Amino acid sequence: MIEDPYLDTQSWVLRNRLHISDRGVLREAEDLVVSARIAELDLVDLPAMYGAGLLRAIHRHLFQDIYDWAGELRTVGISKNGQAFTAPESIDRELAAFERELSAFRPPQTLAECIPRLARLYERLNRIHPFREGNGRAQRAFWDLFLAEHNLALQWGEADKDENDLACREGAEGRFASLEHLLSRILVLGAT
pLDDT digits (tens, 9 = 90+) for 39-50: 999 899 999 899
CATH topology of domain 23-189: Fic-like fold (1.10.3290)
Report how far residue 26's alpha carbon sits from residue 18's, in angstroms, rounded to the nearest whole number.
8
CA separation for the pair 122, 102 (Å, rounded): 10
pLDDT of residue 191: 60
List, for the chain, all residue ranges whose pLDDT scores fall below the cut of 70. 1-2, 191-192
CB atoms within 10 A of CB 99: 16
Give the model's pLDDT for residue 81: 83
Give the 3-state secondary structure of residue 14: strand
**CA–CA dist 77, 168 (Å, integer):** 18
From the list 91, 172, 164, 99, the residue with the least C-alpha distance to 132 is 91
Identify the pLDDT of residue 2.
Answer: 65
- pTM, whole model, 2 decimals? 0.94
Reported as a single tens digit per residue, the pLDDT across 143-155 is 999 999 988 999 9
Q: How far from chain centre, in Å, is Cα 153?
A: 15
Q: How far apart are CA 16 and CA 14, in angstroms?
A: 6
Domain boundaries, the chain: 23-189
Would you state the pLDDT for residue 28?
Answer: 97
Helices 135-148 and 111-128 sit at what angle, rounded to 10 degrees? Answer: 150
Enumerate residues 6+ apart whose C-beta is below 8 A from 35: none
Element (H, E) at 54: helix 52-63
